[in-house]
Structure 1
């Protein structure tokens, strides 16, 4: 059960006199390890001074408003984001409606109306590269100056980067910080292992299991097909090892296929998971249709390729299942 007492979707929903608070601001797409560091700092600062810990975010994502012609898919859905922010100990989340008109608000007006008047902020926790207000004209110096004017302290949180906590990860840039952009790049290349390192957990999708073409069942590998409106960024086409969490709270090992399956013509891009059972146990007739499930991507096994004939495809699928077992830490029988 989510413990949020306060969850506001506009400044008008914030009760008069709410606060005092410790506040941070961000998009929190993916709620990765860098976000978690900031949120934990806000919670610690709030607890030390008897304040409420609050995060401010935006809905829709600013990228959808400023670049509507460029597709933008969240790393995870709002439900999972709220669950993770909740686990980190926030007292409230403020989801401000984002529009082009809102984007024209000056840094000074934004801080005054949201931080000061709306939330009674006494502490503001941000990263050194913070930008806010019209044309992103507000920065760290701006925030510190506004803090002096309005009576709140500003605490700066160091980025997670390849200079410190992420030294074992390869990056195109010598000094690269943990970011949603980097995670998107990793998922687009199928590197779910590195993405999990930045996220602090396996990348996940959440959605309803729907009926597919039943080709997997005919071949001896029945699959749970994720609905096209499932939450979570779909990684690169290929085959993955992972876990499926059903509505009963059971966790099942799975081999996941992402793509259009080039062996068959006219198949649209889809995500489907073959439930392998429990370690070294046969899975009997197992029906997930209609259930809302969570899929976790643990390891990339191979890219998607076309096979000539069903025999070759079945041999490869059998190997995929064995490889998935090994990736999950078990030896296939």
Structure 2
């Protein structure tokens, strides 16, 4: 996938079919829109393109109440690329950019920048200064500039329940309901970051853990112990999708205060992960965080957690 941040860098061989959004999480609803964009591009002998933003607009307009992001920029773009999109334009979102009128935005980015022959959007689309642009406005601009507007109707859950949305996924991650999250995403939820030194308590207890940096990307789920996977980014095949028991929380048995994500890789010894970038995927919550009265009780429970995680992960 060709990825651009500045219109002056964009190099295209022909027209594009464009869709626009934040795509946080790239959940099944997003995937549906991306599939429609790719299909529309193929039918028009065009390239498929995504226009997205970094940072998330809410972090610019309302940083004090912006929701936690499900995915960092790198994972978001990787997932969009995996879906099959040809071109991504990542617009640096600023207060100055937010002053562009709907017409100026469409002309600058869709028409001049990406040579759009069609734009794929949902019925509730909003764009331009003060979110003044809507579906009707886009259709008027499409007639003016010569591009087609393709409307994707709301894509709800298969059981007829709530529509796919990033906010629904966030609520499930916040509650630790990872099986439901996997259903909405089509894959386990992930956190990406560097392995840093911790307190080395896990090693002392016989369960050495990979402690993720506080600056890791991706929304951290509810406190508890999870079965999941750990992969070393750019590692060899033996370091991909390693089964893990993952602890999220403050280590209340040791009166900890810092909330951490720590992964014990099951049935692997001698791993050297400090300083490496890893991806941790959460498959299923095993139990909530508990404060134990003794180290023996903690170790017994950790052995049970590992056995259960091993069984779940096969």
TM-score calculated relative to the size of structure 1? 0.89
Residue 296 of structure 2 corresponds to residue 311 of structure 1: yes
Q: Deviation digits for residues 60-93 of structure 1, max 9, x if unmatched?
A: 1100111022354321122211211112221211
Q: Deviations over 1:170-192 (max 9, x none)?
A: xxxxx521111111111111111
Distance 1:128 1:180 in 2: 17
Question: What is the aligned partner in structure 1 of residue 236 from structure 2?
Answer: 248
The answer to whether the Cα contact below 8 Å between 1:18 and 1:118 also exists between their aligned partners in 2 is no
Match of 1:293 among 263, 267, 278: 278
Q: Confirm or deny that 1:257 pairs with 2:247.
A: yes
Is the aligned partner of 1:37 residue 2:27? no
1:146-157 → structure 2 map (5 Å cutoff): 146-157=141-152
- 1:86-235 matches, within 5 Å, as 86-162=81-157, 165-167=158-160, 176-235=162-221
User: TM-score w.r.t. structure 2 length?
Assistant: 0.94
The gaps in structure 1 that reach 5 residues or longer are 168-174, 278-282
**Cα displacement (A) at 1:199:** 0.9
Counterpart for residue 170 of structure 1:
none
User: How far did 1:119 drift?
Assistant: 1.3
Instruction: State the partner residue of 1:171.
Output: none
Q: Report how far residue 269 of structure 1 moved.
A: 0.7
Identify the match of residue 67 of structure 1 among 49, 62, 66.
Answer: 62
Which aligned runs of 4 or more in structure 1 are off by greater than 4 angstroms?
none
**Which residue pairs with 1:284 in the alignment?**
269
> Compared with structure 1, are the counterparts of its residues 293 and 120 closer, same or farther at alpha carbon in structure 2 (3 Å cutoff)?
same
Structure 2: any 5+ residue segments left out of the alignment?
none
The CA RMSD measured in Å over matched residues stands at 1.6
- Alignment partners' CA distance in 2, 1:261 and 1:79: 30
- Distance in 2, matches of 1:324 and 1:158, equals 39
Which of 6, 10, 17 is the equivalent residue of 2:6? 10
Q: 1:27 aligns with which of 22, 26, 29?
A: 22
C-alpha deviation, 1:218, in angstroms = 1.1
CA distance in 1, matches of 2:205, 2:30: 43
Measure, in 2, the Cα distance between the counterparts of 1:131 and 1:257. 40
Which string of whole-angstrom CA distances, capped at 9 and with x for unpartnered residues, describes residues 181-229 of structure 1?
Answer: 1111111111111111111100011112122111111111111111111
2:218 and 2:251 map into 1 onto residues whose CA distance is: 20
Q: Alignment length, in residue pairs?
A: 310
Is residue 269 from structure 1 mapped to residue 259 from structure 2 by the alignment? Answer: yes
